[in-house]
Structures are given as C-alpha cells and as structure tokens.
Amino acid sequence: MTTTAVLSPLTIRAVEVMLPCTDLDATVDFFLDPLGFRLDVIMPADDPAVALLSGHGMRIRLERGATGDPGDLRLAVDEPQALGTDLLTAPNGTRIHLVDADPPLAIPDSAPLFELTRDDGDAGGEGRAGMRYRDLLPKRQGGRFIASHILIPEGGPVPDYVHHHRVRFQMIYCAAGWVRVVYEDQGPAFLLQAGDCVLQPPGIRHRVLESSPGLEVVEIGCPAEHETTAEHVITLPTPEVRPDRVFDGQRFVRHVAADAAWEPWTSAGFECRDTGIGAATAGLAGVRVVRRTDALSADDGVSTVDVIHDGELLFWFILAGTAMLHSQGRPDEPLGRGAAVAVPAGLGHRLGEHSGDLEFLEITLPAALEIRTATPL
C-alpha cells in the first residue's frame, strides 16, 4: 500500500513541527519574543508540558521531556544582521538561521571557458515536467550560464504548472516542432514554432501547455543555478494584455521567424535575423539566427582571418549544415547540427569550411558584442 493510498481518506487541517524542550516556559518566551510567534494552546494548566505556537505561516509544537534533535529553522527576514548575528539558539537548542528574504541574485565570478558539445543521439536526463534535457554547457561557464537542448519526443499535453524563474537572463528558441505556451500579461496561449523564440524576463509567470512530437528547444539562462517558483495565485492567461510591461528591467519578446527581416551579419557572405532581445534587455543580451547567403558559394567557405571578442559570452548552436571551428592553440573542431560551442573572450577563432546550408543560433552578452581581428600567434 502506498503512502498516497494511506492518506487519501484523510482531511488534513494543520501540520505541526514538533520540537523537544526541557524548560518549556523559557522556550515559549523565546519564540514569542524576539521571533514573533503567538501562543495558541498550552496544557495541562496545572503543570504545562505542551505548547502550540503559530506564526509566519507555520505551527510549532513544543513538548517538555521529548527527545530528539531540536532541529533548525530558517527565518527569511528583511535585515538578517539587525540583531547583530544571523544565528540564534533557542533555550531548547533549536538553531534559528536568519536569512535575507530578498537576497541579491548570485552570479558566480568566474572566467569564461571554452566549451563544445555535440549531439550524440542521447536525449539527456529527465527534468522538470517530464522534459528531456541535454546539457550544452557541462561546465556551466563556472556557474554563470546553463544551456540545454530540451526534447519532448512523444508530444501531447505537458504536465507543467504556472511558474516563474529568478534569473538575470533567459531565452527559449524552438529548433524543431512546435510548443503551445502562455505568458503573464501577453494574451492567450500561442504556438512557438520552429525558428521562433521568446525572451522570458525575470519573474514573468508562464506555462508550457502542449507540444508536437519531436519538439526541440534550446534554452539558455543566467545564472546556471536559479530558482523555479510555482505560482499558486495567478492563473494564465491573465485578463490584461500589457505587451510593454517591464519585468525587472526587461520586456517580454516573442520573435516570429516568418515575420522577421534579414540583415548583414558581422562576416561577409552571411546574414542574420535579430530577435529584438537586445533592445528588450537594454543591451544585456543579443540573440540572432545566422545563415549563409547566396553571395557566398558553397565551395567558398574558407575564412583565414581570426577574430576575438571581449564579451561575457559568445554561444553558437548549429541548427543546420556544417562548419569547421578554428581556434588559436586548439585543434580544429568539426561542427554539425546540434553542436554547441562557447568561445571565451580573447580566444582567436573563425568559422571556416561552411556548408551552403549552414544556419546557427548566436547568443551574446552583451548584445552589441565587439568583434575585432585577432593578433596572429
């Protein structure tokens, strides 16, 4: 018999955390002041041995003479050091950790790394809502970025829920198939189709509803480890449509490939469609799709000029075709569909031997990444 089967007939009305204590009076007084709990029940009246307290969304049961570890409690507060310490100890030994209720987003201070992965046919591990995740940056750029090739092989309804992320930057690009999604203040659910992408600003509520068989999306976010919070109040779609709403300094972007205009890229013979994410993030990040043009013939794809950048991130994901990555001091690397590479600042590099159908996703931080000729080794 499973735990669910045991609990299914029950109507749970309250949950208590039970803590042992020796001196009940002193422990109760500590939880009342300075911690701000309230006393709800005490018994028996002639010789109290049990006290029930509540506050801050939880209930505590103190039992005099009970055994066991007095445990740890984390209190999220506005000023963790207001009492001169971030660790208090109750008379019964319970450790009270005072933590920042709204801590700054932690971005690891690590140098950019060269990382390259290829699609070896492994669908990756199962992640949230049953989706398959292939890690595109296994070293996570020292914790600064996470990039995933996300697959839903079977398609159909996705067991997702309304949620949001605490991030600095997050982008979703549909590489194959389609997925139906809905976003806070952005109107009814819509299809994200192959070639389309969205910028998910920090904190925007959203939900994945269903997908086609063989869905493939590329997701990149900063920092690598970030919180995903389930939303229990807001339902989607929201009644208002506010396309210009700003979420923590960024605007939602829905880039539709079918409506996009192409413009010259940084290298001759290539063109790109800009997704508008650079403007929506005030220059923090840029996302473009780059492809060969007819001006560059299929057998004229050898570049001999190395370039470098000084940015935080230069990331490529190959959507179609092939190319050879040349990097100073490193062996040449053939790139095919599904390959991903992060080229660090200061590393001389070039893409050569392009196939005529080469197309790739480019993500840069900042949006206007300065590219210049590298000094020959």
Task: Supply the pLDDT for residue 43.
Answer: 96
Task: Supply the pLDDT for residue 124.
Answer: 61
Q: What is the pLDDT of residues 33-62, one digit of tens each?
A: 989 999 999 999 999 999 999 999 999 999
Report residue 238 as tokens.
């929201």
Domain boundaries, the chain: 13-100, 123-243, 263-373
Taking CA atoms, 4 is separated from 9, 144, 160, 228, in Å, by 9, 39, 21, 25
Q: What is the pLDDT of residues 104-131, one digit of tens each?
A: 999 999 989 999 999 977 656 665 556 7
- Note the Cα 158 to chain centre separation in Å: 18
CATH entry 3.10.50.40 includes domain 263-373: no
**Nearest by Cα to 357 from 338, 375, 337:** 337
Tokens 């413009």 belong to which residue? 263
Superfamily of domain 123-243: Jelly Rolls (2.60.120.10)
Task: Supply the pLDDT for residue 266.
Answer: 87
pLDDT greater than 70 at residue 339: yes
Work out the mean pLDDT of the chain and round it to a whole number. 92
Same-fold call for 13-100 versus 123-243: no
Pick the CATH number of 13-100 from 3.20.20.140, 3.10.180.10, 3.90.79.10, 3.40.50.2300: 3.10.180.10
* Dist. CA 221–CA 131, nearest whole Å: 17
What is the reported pTM? 0.88
